[in-house]
Amino acid sequence: MKYCYANRRHTLYPENVDTWSPDPNSYTDDFLRRSIDIGMDGLEVGFQVLDSFGDDNDAIKAFAKRLSDAGAPILAIRAGGSLTAAQGYAENKARMAHMIDVAGMIDVDIVNGALSAPPRRPDAQENSPGWPKSQDASRDAMIYDYEALADDLREAADRGAPRGVTISTEVHQNSLVDNSWSGKLVHKLVDRENFGLNPDLGNIVWTYDEMEETTEHAIRELAPISVYWHCKNLHRINHPENKRTVFLRVPLPDGEVDYRYAITTMVEAGYKGYLAIEGASAGDQFYQDKKSVDYCESVLDDIGAK
């Protein structure tokens, strides 16, 4: 496996950048060098960065070349946004199409999308992880919701195929694809070779106050149809009297998801894609994220898959 840096903190002295709204200049030579030094083979870059170039394709190509020349190429583009909620639908669909075109232009083979929408009721508990309800959840959906979603994802996959781009749908809270059965359903309905799942186990852990399924069950079900893989880990602190769970983000070896089991399952299923480390969101990201890479390397070595 190759390691893709899906960093969730973008801080290296003297820069302290909002991870969700960096600009191209945020990818300094020091940041790229440090990312390589901790073992990353390349980066996941969000649509916000690429959209900042507007229609200047030459500038996009120059940015991608600068990262590649530094040894930290763009391996995946993060797009996303709901394709079923009415508000934002047109913008999200257009963004997905644009990112597929950009990916083809700069030889990036994965466009990943989390299909969640902004909160429609800002004060509702269902908009945050760790409560008994989740906005737009699979448990509340009808089959026609999935059929409509599959139509748009099939269109995206068909756009990506001649460009050498695979479409990845992320298992994500506050979306129709939030567990293994819903992921398998969407995969079956889309029915394209260049479409698959991103089995983000951390998102399954924190969708509800009580998990719908074990991460072991989820990864067994999703590994054969996975094309990209976000990895993060958490500790759950449950307050049953409040029907509430809070979560602490930790490096991969330190949380409740058994990544030895998960990595072994993915290897046994023949997964050849990127292991994208969703890194630390606070503290020293490079120390913590290197710990995650080193752990993954040790597991792969133990199981003879390195």
The pTM of the full predicted model, rounded to 2 decimals, is 0.97
What digits encode the pLDDT tens for the residues 131-161?
A: 999 999 999 999 999 999 999 999 999 999 9
- Residue numbers of the domain that contains 221: 2-302
- Number of domains, the chain: 1
- Is 301 exposed, middle or buried, given 0-12, 13-18 or 19+ CB atoms closer than 10 A? exposed
- Quick one: pLDDT at residue 1? 86
d(CA 180, CA 281): 26
Residues 6+ apart with CB under 8 A from 269: 223, 224, 226
CATH number for 86: 3.20.20.150
The closest of 181, 194, 173 to 146, measured between CA atoms, is 181
Cis peptide preceding 73, ω within 30 of 0: no
pLDDT digits (tens, 9 = 90+) for 47-88: 999 999 999 999 999 999 999 999 999 999 999 999 999 999
Checking if the pLDDT of 242 tops 90, the result is yes
Residues 3-25 have pLDDT tens digits of: 999 999 999 999 999 989 899 99
Backbone φ and ψ for 241, nearest 5 degrees, come out as -65, -20
- Which helix (H) or strand (E) is 65 found in, with range? helix 57-69
SS3 content of the chain, % helix, strand, coil (to 5): 45, 20, 35
pLDDT digits (tens, 9 = 90+) for 163-202: 999 999 999 999 999 999 999 999 999 999 999 999 999 9
